[in-house]
Amino acid sequence: MRIGSYTLDNNLMLAPMAGVTDRPFRQLCKRMGAGLVVSEMLSSNPKVWNTAKSQARMNHEGEEGIRSVQIAGADPELMAQAAQFNVENGAQIIDINMGCPAKKVNKKLAGSALLQYPSTVESIIKAVVNAVDVPVTLKIRTGWNTDNRNGVEIARIAEQNGIQSLAVHGRTRACMYKGEAEYDTIRRIKAAISIPVIANGDITSPEKAQQVLNCTGADGVMIGRGAQGNPWIFKEILHYLETGENLTPPPLSEQYEILHEHVANVQSFYGEVAGVRIARKHVGWYLSEHDTDRQFRKSFNAIEDASAQLEALNAYFEALQEKPDRFLLQHSND
């Protein structure tokens, strides 16, 4: 699959998720088989670029692969400036966010709120595409609400104004993350345009990825929540698409190694205070199948020391390995 002049390793992408797809997680998912990883969205407001949060989101030091950076905003001129700034900072692809359903984003008429205003969508796309020499991609939802599914119209505007690839989350803004993704709308969008279309929404298994590709005719799939605590999903999907067979899940020892490395990298990236806090949600996702009574997470979330976090994880997995029957039972119910 190609985006502009770039050829991806495969057609599996990590969706941009605020507070999740930071550098440690992107690097991990890339190693686990993702063909493209997209950064957390960055505000187009230059007043916040020097904050600690924005500086962390802009950090691509040591990253391998194509660097795709997502920007969000409602003003065409500011979006163009943000695109230029991020290209100067190492971005090789600029992705425009018109899919985020969060209230704090939408109240500024950014994210999926823009789908209500096709003329503004066009102005932003034109401004960004004309501002940079790298490929510009777009992420949208199917519309503002179920009475206003204008994804096909937005897709045509995108193609006509230079967007190189379009990712579509199969829900309207009003649907948030409720209900099932509407792949039929993605199929109509794919049929209406010739640029690559990436299907997103509820892709949590290799079988589902294949089903979505078959149903929509999309060129690739984008995985968001399905990768949280499960970064090896990319390796599993890739194997299934290539062979039609399921890859054996990573053994408990490998899961521990991946989690340990991820937590240590988060702590190193953010520093001990913030790193300890941010690591908690990732640990919760990784252990959702094992720590069903949430007792470990309750005690883990009270730990304030980085090394103590790693020691607690080591002790927890040692205890899990001493109870293989419990582990096998949980996985037999997946």
User: Catalytic amino acids?
Assistant: 100
Identify the residue whose tokens are 């002049």: 5
Give the orientation angle of helix 272-286 with respect to helix 252-270, to 10 degrees: 150
* R_g of the chain computed on alpha carbons: 20
In angstroms, the CA 273 to CA 305 distance is 8
Identify the residue whose tokens are 């929404």: 201
Task: Tell me how far the alpha carbon of residue 130 is from its chain's centroid.
Answer: 26
Identify the residue whose tokens are 């062979």: 243
Q: Which structure tokens are listed for 282?
A: 């990732």
Q: What is the 3-state secondary structure (H, E, C) of the chain?
A: CEECCEECCCCEEECCCCCCCCHHHHHHHHHCCCCEEECCCEECCHHHCCCHHHHHHCCCCCCCCCEEEEEECCCHHHHHHHHHHHHHCCCCEEEEEECCCCHHHHCCCCHHHHHHCHHHHHHHHHHHHHHCCCCEEEEEECCCCCCCCCHHHHHHHHHHCCCCEEEEECCCCCCCCCCCCCHHHHHHHHHHCCCCEEEECCCCCHHHHHHHHHHHCCCEEEECHHHCCCCCHHHHHHHHHHHCCCCCCCCHHHHHHHHHHHHHHHHHHHCHHHHHHHHHHHHHHHCCCCCCCCHHHHHHCCCCCHHHHHHHHHHHHHHHHCCHHHHHHHHHCC
